[in-house]
Amino acid sequence: MPEPSGYEYFKDCSAVKEQRTEAEQKRDEEKAWSSGDWFGKRTWLLLFFGLVVLSTFFAILSLIIVSVKVSGMYSEMKELQDKLMLQDSQFKGNVPEEGQRNQMAGELSKLKTLVFEELQKTQGNMTDLNSKLKLEMFEELQKTQSNMTDLNSKLKLEMFEELQKTQSNMTDLNSKLKLEMFEELQKTQSNMTDLNSKLKLEMFEELQKTQSNMTDLNSKLKLEMSAELQKMQGNMTNMISKLKLGNCTCSECPSGWIWFNLHCYYFTTNSGSWHFAKGQCNAMDSHLVVINSAAEQSFIKREGAPERYWIGLSDSETEKMWQWADGSDYRSTPKFWARGEPNNAGNGEDCAHIDKNGYWNDNGCDTRFRWICEKSLA
Ligand code: BGC
Ligand code: CA
């Protein structure tokens, strides 16, 4: 008994299904009638049925496609098998004999020769082609080389020109720079010269100041040294005199008196007229100072400065006839009048005194001055 086709099977199944569905539908409808929800259940039923129909349709379609394909493949296989079978039978039935084989070998060797000749020709052509190619390449290379040489020459020329330009620019720049540097140097030199002149001037002024200060200092020093030397000289003279006296009965100056060259001197601190002073000195066993030498003048000047002191000199007896208090000859002693003195100024000036500057002046005898008494130790 032949097997039912897929369609028939499906037909049977759907018939069964239809029968079952109708029965169920009737039952459902009854139920729906009885339950009162007939419309909703029918819709669901229709949807379900539609789905089933669609699925069945697609299943049948797939089955048809598969069967068509399988039958195609089967026929191809069959054809292949037939061919193979035919070939096999041909091969088995047509085994060449020795004569045929020799003929075939001869043909084969001819074929080989032909192929070899063809190959040789091809090789020859290839060689020619290669040579041509080489030649062309060589020519091309030569051209390229020539172009490169030209290009190189051009480049060299351009570079040379550029270098020349640059060199020229550099030369200009160098010249400018040199000029600027020279100008700057000249300026600097001028500034330095000015500075040098200023410095020289300042140094010269400073030197002059220093020199002047040194001169002043030197003068002061000289003066101080001279005074000191005079003092020392006086002291030395006194000491020598003392020593020369040897066994003579000499005594020291009384207290408050100053010793100089074997004489004692008293410088008062009180003042009085010339005549009062003279009396005071006589009362102290002395006389108003008589200046007999430059050394004594220096001593008096040094010790008395800067006060004024009466000395033992007057022209009260006869105008301009100056006389020393101890009778010494005025004409033979050195004079130390101040400039323009004696001038007998005012109502007349007959008594002499040491002025502030250490030199002599004539003044009114009643003027009150300090005085200096002197007495000899010899
Ligand atoms: C004069 C002196 C004078 C004195 C009198 C001074 O100005 O120069 O010569 O003896 O005055 O005080
Ligand atoms: Ca005078």
What distance in angstroms lies between residue 345's CA and the mean position of ligand 2's atoms?
A: 5
Ligand 1 centroid distance, CA of 345 (Å): 6
Q: Supply the range of the domain harboring residue 69.
A: 6-82
Task: Name the closest-CA residue to atom 10, ligand 1.
Answer: 363
pLDDT at residue 253 above 50? yes
Among the ranges given (77-91, 102-116, 273-287), the one the predictor scored with the smallest mean pLDDT? 77-91
Nearest C-alpha neighbor of 307 from the set 347, 270, 259: 270
Written as one letter, the residue type at 14 is S
Please name which ligand lies nearest the alpha carbon of 344. Answer: 2
Residue 362 C-alpha to ligand 2 middle, in angstroms? 4
297 is a domain residue:
yes
Residue 100 clears pLDDT 90, i.e. is over it: no
Q: Which atom of ligand 1 is the closest one to the Cα of 363?
A: 10
- The best mutation among 347, 356, 360, 363 to test binding of ligand 1, ranked by most ligand atoms within 8 Å of the C-beta, falls on 363
Q: Which of 7-11, 89-93, 156-160, 312-316 has the highest mean pLDDT?
A: 312-316
- Residue pLDDT, tens place only, 49-77: 778 778 778 777 877 776 677 567 667 76
Residue nearest to atom 6 of ligand 1 (CA): 345
Q: Ligand 1 centroid vs 308 CA: distance in angstroms?
A: 13
What mean pLDDT do residues 232-255 have? 67
Domain boundary pick from 82, 116, 134: 82
In tens, the pLDDT along 33-43 reads 455 555 566 67
Domain end, chosen from 31, 55, 82, is at 82
Number of domains in the chain: 2
- Residue located via tokens 């130390």: 336
Does a structural domain hold residue 41? yes
Q: Looking at the DSSP assignment, which residues form a beta bridge with residue 310?
A: 353, 371
Ligand 1, residue 349: give the atom nearest the CA: 10
CB 189 within 8 A of CB 195: no
In angstroms, how far is the first alpha carbon of the chain from the final one?
A: 205
Is 70 exceeded by the pLDDT of residue 93? no
CA 194/CA 185 separation, integer angstroms: 14
Closest-CA residue, ligand 1 atom 1, reads 345
Pocket of ligand 1 (CB under 6 A): 341, 343, 345, 349, 361-363
| pLDDT range class, residue 300, cuts 50, 70, 90 | very high
Is the pLDDT at 347 greater than 90? The verdict is yes
pLDDT: which is higher, 322 or 241: 322
pLDDT of residue 69: 72
Helices then strands, each counted (H, E), the chain: 5, 8
E-strand ranges in the chain read: 258-260, 263-267, 287-288, 309-314, 323-324, 351-354, 360-363, 370-376
Q: Does residue 236 belong to any structural domain of this protein?
A: no
Residue 291 maps to which CATH number? 3.10.100.10
Q: Residue 359 in contact with residue 337, Cβ under 8 Å?
A: yes
Which pLDDT tens digit goes with each residue over 104-134?
788 878 878 887 888 788 788 778 877 887 8
Predicted structure pTM score? 0.41
37 against 195, higher pLDDT: 195
The reply to whether 28 falls in a domain is yes
Residue 144 pLDDT: 74
Atom of ligand 1 nearest to the CA of 367: 12
Residue 322's alpha-carbon distances to 29, 34, 314, 334, in angstroms, are 193, 194, 5, 13
Task: With respect to residue 17, please indicate whether it lies within any of the assigned structural domains.
Answer: yes
**From the CA of 113, how far away is ligand 2's center (Å)?**
172
Report the pLDDT value the prediction gives residue 88, as an integer from 0 to 100.
59
* Site of tokens 């005025």: 330
Is 316 a member of any domain?
yes
Q: 22, 49, 82: which is the final residue of a domain? A: 82
Task: Name the residue with the closest Cα to ligand 1, atom 5.
Answer: 363
Q: Is residue 278 part of a domain?
A: yes
Domain assignment present for residue 309? The answer is: yes
In percent, the amount of the chain with pLDDT more than 70 equals: 79
Report the pLDDT value the prediction gives residue 251, as an integer from 0 to 100.
65
User: Quick check: bond before 306 cis, omega within 30?
Assistant: yes
* Ligand 2 centre distance from Cα of residue 269 (Å): 23
Question: What is residue 58's predicted lDDT score, i.e. its pLDDT?
Answer: 79
For ligand 1, atom 4: residue with the closest CA = 363
Mutation pick for ligand 1 pocket among 361, 362, 369 (CB with most ligand atoms within 8 Å): 361
